[in-house]
Amino acid sequence: MRILVAGATGAIGQPLIDSLIFDGHEVFGLTRSDERAEVLAAKGAKAVRIDLLNKEDVFSRTAEIKPEIVVDMLTSLPKEYTPEAMEKAAVKDAKIRREGGGNLQEAAEKNGVRRYVVQSCGFWYAPGVGLADENTPFAFDATPSIAARSRIYAEIERRVLQSDKIEGVALRFGFFYGPGTWFHIDGDEAKRVKEKKFPIIGEGDGVWNFIHIKDAAKSVSQAVYCSPGAYNIVNNRPVQLREWLPAFARYVGAPPPPYVSLEEAEKTLSPDTIYYATKLRGVSNNKAKREFNFEPRSFDWLL
């Protein structure tokens, strides 16, 4: 099939291009950079230079390509993953996801694209008992910035899943780990852990949902054929911060992470940082496993 990928050179984009081409698809990757266009060409994809915030450009180029499937992996995220860095990047990230993605979806609908696959969030679920599933609401009552970004994801999902012109699929990814991500042996989070800048706060009760970047990419390939709807794309082991962070530190050759009391954290750290450490909720991937045989790998660093 002819598949158009937005976000083709990001953390998930590059393994995604490899996965789609391996599966025999004709792949077009959107980019604004000559250097990144060369990367796409080397992988066997056709690079398409486009400004997603220019509606006329998006419409004309989509009409030229005539894709059957559009994959929207649009983000504008900071190099280093911290709540503070995410907060600074939030406005630009929201603009490219909402406006750029909105232009792309409208162009897809206008040009008869059959299916639109969009990136969503698999770690900002409302608190509750047990694992969250796809019917659980997002964390709309979390800290202000997390609540705001949860509303953005919900808005994008409504735009995609409620369209009567395309088949919509929303993939709710956990935290990416593996090559090219923040959570890798040479990634920025490894650097923070080595510098003892990533503490366990309070009891470290927050439950994190991870997904290997290659498994995330494979799930997009599978989403080309699955039933429309939302899917949690996380691995089989939701894990509390107090367990995964010391294991990650050992994996990257770092000293054990420091402990910070909740009272001290409230004086010195951001509300988002505390939320991540203490209130994130575990997620079930049963729907993806049932609907398209999703089989994520075990952790590299948590056995």
Q: Could you tell me the domains of the chain?
A: 2-178+210-236+283-292 (3.40.50.720)
- Is the pLDDT at 118 greater than 70, yes or no? yes
- Predicted TM-score (pTM) of the model is 0.94
- Is the pLDDT at 86 greater than 70, yes or no? no
Amino acid at 174: G
Q: Where residue 88 falls among pLDDT bands split at 50, 70, 90? A: confident
- List the one residue out of 3, 21, 39 whose CA is nearest residue 180: 39
pLDDT in tens, 123-132: 999 999 999 9
- Is the pLDDT at 53 greater than 70, yes or no? yes
* Rounded Cα–Cα distance for residues 137 and 146 (Å): 13
* Rounded Cα–Cα distance for residues 288 and 123 (Å): 16
Contact 275, 143 (CB under 8 A): yes
- Is the pLDDT at 183 greater than 80, yes or no? yes
Report percent pLDDT > 90 for the chain.
85
Q: Where residue 91 falls among pLDDT bands split at 50, 70, 90? A: confident
Burial label for 135, CB within 10 Å (0-12, 13-18, 19+), is: exposed
Q: Where residue 161 falls among pLDDT bands split at 50, 70, 90? A: very high
Q: Where residue 78 falls among pLDDT bands split at 50, 70, 90? A: low
- Is the pLDDT at 89 greater than 80, yes or no? no
Range with the lowest mean pLDDT among 76-85, 104-113, 248-257, 259-268? 76-85
Q: Where residue 84 falls among pLDDT bands split at 50, 70, 90? A: low
- Is the pLDDT at 82 greater than 90, yes or no? no
pLDDT in tens, 225-276: 999 999 999 999 999 999 999 999 999 999 999 999 999 999 999 999 999 9
Across the range 58-82, mean pLDDT stands at 87
